[in-house]
């Protein structure tokens, strides 16, 4: 039985598609959805962590709140959480474990080739590191 779903968001169309799936599952299971936003931190060459945009947290918080409001309007119990910094995939996996979620529902951008090699895939890393089931929602045409 699914009682709590974690739905990471970056405000992208794939995240919005994932939110639709999360809402349907939540309604069917009478589960709640926790929307998660993470201000991405990168490692600089000298291994000092640097926020990619020091002013990003209010924007990420606004994205999270907008998604919570949208889910709530659909009749889904939803809460939001914004983490002020972190490696995104690690933050998703850690939050899922710490908050006792039963399922992670997230979008995937479907990158391949050089784009994926250089940018990496957050979804791929979450799947590889999570002990909690992950539902990936692909990019829609």
pLDDT band at 122 (very low <50, low <70, confident <90, very high): confident
Q: What is the pLDDT of residue 48?
A: 47
**Segment 20-48 mean pLDDT:** 84
Which one has a higher pLDDT value, 56 or 44? 56
* Residue 6 β-bridge partners: 34, 104
* Superfamily for the 4-137 domain: HUPs (3.40.50.620)
Of the candidates 113, 112, 94, 118, the one whose C-alpha atom is nearest the C-alpha of residue 104 is 94
CA distances from 71 to 16, 32, 86, 98 (A): 11, 10, 25, 22
Assess whether pLDDT exceeds 60 at residue 17: yes
CA dihedral 59, 121, 101, 18 (to 10 degrees): 70
Q: What is the pLDDT of residue 85?
A: 81
Query: Would you say 20 and 107 are in contact if contact means Cβ atoms under 8 Å apart?
Result: no
- d(CA 116, CA 125) in angstroms, rounded, equals 12
For the chain, what percent of residues have pLDDT higher than 70? 79
Mean pLDDT, the chain, whole residue set: 85
Secondary structure string (H, E, C) spanning 61-93? HHHHHHHHHHHHHCCCEEEEEEEEEECHHHHHH
pLDDT band at 117 (very low <50, low <70, confident <90, very high): very low
Task: Report H helices in the chain.
Answer: 13-29, 56-73, 88-98, 113-119, 122-129
The model's pTM is 0.84
């Amino acid at each position: 039985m699914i009682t709590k779903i974690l739905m990471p968001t970056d405000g992208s169309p794939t995240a919005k598609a994932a939110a639709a799936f999360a809402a349907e599952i939540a309604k069917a299971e009478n589960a709640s959805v926790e929307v998660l936003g993470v201000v991405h931190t990168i490692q600089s060459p000298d291994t000092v962590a640097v926020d990619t945009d020091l002013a990003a947290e209010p924007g990420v918080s606004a994205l999270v709140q907008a998604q919570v409001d949208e889910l709530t309007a659909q009749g889904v119990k939803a809460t939001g959480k914004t983490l002020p910094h972190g490696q995104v995939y690690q933050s998703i996996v850690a939050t899922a474990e710490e908050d006792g979620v039963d399922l992670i529902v997230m979008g995937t951008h479907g990158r391949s080739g050089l784009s994926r090699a250089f940018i990496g895939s957050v979804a791929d890393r979450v799947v590889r590191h999570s002990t909690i089931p992950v539902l990936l929602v692909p990019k829609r045409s």
